[in-house]
Chains A and B, each alone.
Chain A
Amino acid sequence: MSARAPRLAALARRDLAIEVSYQFRLAIFLSGAFVSAFLAFYVSKLVGDPESLERFQGSYFDYVVIGLALTSYAGLGVVAFTAQISREQAAGTLEVLLSGPTRLGTVLAGGLIVPLGLTTVQVALLVGMGVGVVGTGLSTRGVLLAVPVVVLTVVNFCALGIISAAIVLLVKRGDPISGPVAQVVLLLSGAIFPVELFPAWLEALCHVNPAYYGVRGLHEALLTDGGLAGLVDELAVLSAFACLGLPLSLWLFSAAVAKAKQLGVLGSY
């Protein structure tokens, strides 16, 4: 076992203990799946099965539930690191952690484990209950195909989240990424409605948005019979975005830490 694994486990135990200590918040978080499914169900009754979704075997309900699931993961990637850095700064523990031998990358990665686990439980409830029980059903093959799409989407949004955390490290509050930028990215993803409904110029903009490929990949995996061959394009584009975005975000974060040490604002919040 590498020196990193016990530290990742310790970070996960810490976060789990803290989460469990806020029982009401945990219950609210998990019940969010029921609220989303309820909302999607009645909106789908109003919308029916529009022609633009003919390509997908499911109904609008299935379409939007899967879009919301991906949105949950994308949102996690964007806000998890910023929230972690803000919490550690406010608790005064960031400086203690950084004065020790644990690498910053390990601290960030470890801090993602519990939020990722909780989001997965929430998404499993949403998709399982929504598409699996109320909707047209889920195939094991589709769920397996969805895994790499979700992983690559999370990695892409983690890159965005790490850049957001780098900004928060220096400006403390009001970073633009986890707010307006994330909202635009998700709006242009096709999670709630197909991007083909947009004007041509806006639709073209969606094609440089990794979330668009994540949503499209997840729809392909869970709602069509295309198999792995139907996902090749999405997986390739998501991989390319990840290969560019992740190293860039880590470099920016290291630069932000160095700047914070220079300015003396590492622990302030």
Chain B
Amino acid sequence: MLTVEQVGKEYPPAGPLLRMVARTAHSEPVRALEGIAFDVAPGEVLGVVGPNGAGKSTLIRLCTNLLTPTEGRVLLRGYDVRRAPPEVRARVGVVLADERALYWRLTGRQNLCFFGVMAGLTRAEAELRADELLQELDLAGRDRRVFGYSSGMRVRLSVARALMAHPDLLILDEPTRSLDPVASDHLLARLAELAARGCAVVMATHRLEEVAEICDHALVLDDGRQRAHLRVDDLRGGARSVPASLRALLTAELGP
């Protein structure tokens, strides 16, 4: 479903003109990721774990074609993600680590209907699906403008948006942030259920208990490098390919 082939990302230094007008542009190259390689099969849940700054969000952006890799490539059902046809891209649900990524002046339902049509549903299909997901994610009956939502509700709405077009690949960047324990458990259960029905899931998180709960595999990133790509069961067993320091941390979090 998703294949990442030796992907690396180095942010190039901006040209002098761009540096002059945009003060945030880099003046030196910044190496964010190096030599990342993994596959995600249908029905598999991959947890991308690592400390802050490890490169998790960069990897998520590369997989969703929001960043161009410096080397390697990302394949979506065999297509390079940069040239994947619309019908393939339509079946990818994305939740970015940014709760702003909704129209706050629209209601939750209006947001879902809009993004549903943009993902290729008809208006009638989008309305039906929106009502279904609002119910399922406990947002029904509170269909007010998004600026009146709590942080947790916005995250749940982002997840609902990603599920609108019945994706067969879900890519989520820290989806349980801002969620209370009950909502978090509910979301993880929903993701496990989707995986059981054949949906591939890639989830960046730094909550290792989530990896233990629903992931089949874990991709361990540290300082932009792939430290390990393991079955979660192996991780519990203390596989030798995980550096000792990281293994101690992971096994303590995951349990014996």
A residues within 8 Å of B by Cβ? 3, 6-7, 9-11, 13-14, 17-18, 21-22, 90-93, 95-103, 170-172, 174, 258, 261-268
Is the CB–CB distance between A99 and B123 below 8 Å? Answer: no
A261 B90 Cβ-Cβ under 8 A: no
- The answer to whether A96 touches B114 (Cβ under 8 A) is no
Cβ of B86 < 8 Å from any Cβ of A? yes
Residues of the B chain whose Cβ atoms lie less than 8 Å from the Cβ of A265: 22, 24-25
B residues at A contact (CB < 8 Å) = 11-12, 14, 18, 21-22, 24-26, 32, 58, 61, 64-68, 86-87, 89-90, 92, 94, 96, 98-106, 110, 113-115, 117-120, 122-123, 145, 161
Contact A95 B12 (CB under 8 A): no
Contact in complex: A3, B120 (CB < 8 Å): yes
Q: Please determine whether A263 and B14 come into contact, CB atoms closer than 8 angstroms.
A: yes
Taken together as a complex, chains A and B put the C-alpha atoms of A197 and B215 apart, in Å, by: 75
**Once bound together, how far apart are the Cα atoms of A98 and B104, in whole Å?**
19
Judge whether A263 and B106 touch: CB under 8 Å: no
Contacts of B105 in A (CB 8 A): 17-18, 21-22
How distant is the Cα of A257 from the Cα of B87 in the complex, in angstroms? 21
A99 touches B92 (CB 8 A): yes
A170 touches B22 (CB 8 A): yes
Q: Within 8 Å CB of A90, what residues of B?
A: 100
Partner of B106, one of A18, A95, A101: A18
User: How near does chain A come to B140, taking the closest CB pair, in angstroms?
Assistant: 20
**Shortest distance between the CB of B166 and any CB in chain A (Å):** 13
In Å, the complex CA distance between A96 and B26 comes to 24
B120 CB to nearest chain A CB (Å): 6
**How many angstroms from the CA of A97 to the CA of B111 in the assembled complex?**
12
Q: Known contacts being A92-B101, A93-B101, A172-B22, is A99 close to B67, with CB within 8 Å?
A: no
Q: Which A residues are in CB contact (< 8 Å) with B104?
A: 91
The smallest C-beta distance from B246 to any residue of chain A, in angstroms, reads 26
Question: What is the CA–CA distance of A262 and B26 in the complex, to the nearest angstrom?
Answer: 12
Q: Of all chain B residues, which has the CB nearest A97?
A: B118
Q: How far is the CA of A14 from the CA of B105 in the complex (A)?
A: 10
Residues of chain A contacted by B99 (CB below 8 angstroms): 92
26 sample A-B contacts, Cβ–Cβ < 8 Å, listed by A number: A10-B114, A10-B117, A10-B123, A17-B106, A18-B105, A22-B105, A90-B100, A93-B100, A95-B64, A96-B101, A99-B66, A99-B89, A99-B92, A100-B115, A101-B89, A102-B118, A102-B119, A171-B18, A171-B21, A174-B21, A261-B67, A263-B12, A264-B58, A264-B61, A264-B67, A265-B22
